Homo-oligomer: A and B are copies of this chain.
Amino acid sequence: MKNYRDYCVKLLENRSVTLMDIADVSRYLQAEYHESLTAEQFIPAINSILAKREVQFAIMVAVEMDMQAEARNLFNKELEDILLRDEPLFGVDEVNAYGITNLYGSIALTNFGYIDKFKYGIIAEINERGKSGVECHTFLDDVVGAIAAAAASKFAHGSQIIDEE
């Protein structure tokens, strides 16, 4: 099957999220332990995460749902309203993001929970823009948080979590 890695990077950029934006969230999550880290140091971890098929599919579904809501294209107008107002009790956006964090173990999951509550950087930014009523990033902010959390966890585990084949 095709690898959608480059395609997903483009999807993220079209929704105004760069890999450096995500890397900066990872850096923030690790700053407590390693103050002098730079965002650039998380780019290899992020690239490795984006190489995974299930991560790519979670991104594709997230961007699609947000764009459909923005375009008022949904068959289900109840669901469209929920997405457009980013209903905090919705939950499916976080569940979709767990499909990413689960792959990186329990630290990725706690990192995600933290950043989901204490929004930072690009996550705060797209969350804010979603409140305009024009843009919708209900699914995207969770996917971005999940990739950042996974990269921070991968970094914390050092090289050991990487398959050694």
Contacts from A to B (Cβ < 8 Å): 1-4, 7, 11, 44, 47-48, 51-54, 57-58, 60-61, 63-65, 67-68, 71, 73-76, 78-79, 82, 87-92, 94-96, 98-99, 102-107, 109-114, 116-118, 156-157, 160-165
Contacts and interface: CB of A to CB of B under 8 A. Distances in A.
A157 B116 contact: no
B1 A87 contact: yes
Nearest to A164: B51
A156 B57 CA distance: 16
B106 A98 contact: yes
A75 B67 contact: yes
Given A92-B96, A117-B111, A54 B164 contact: no
Copies assembled: 4
Contact of A99 (B52, B87, B95, B112): B95
A53 to B, nearest CB: 6
A106 B114 contact: no
Contacts of A75: 64, 67-68, 71
A37 B78 CA distance: 31
A7 to B, nearest CB: 7
B58 A92 contact: yes
A61 B96 CA distance: 11
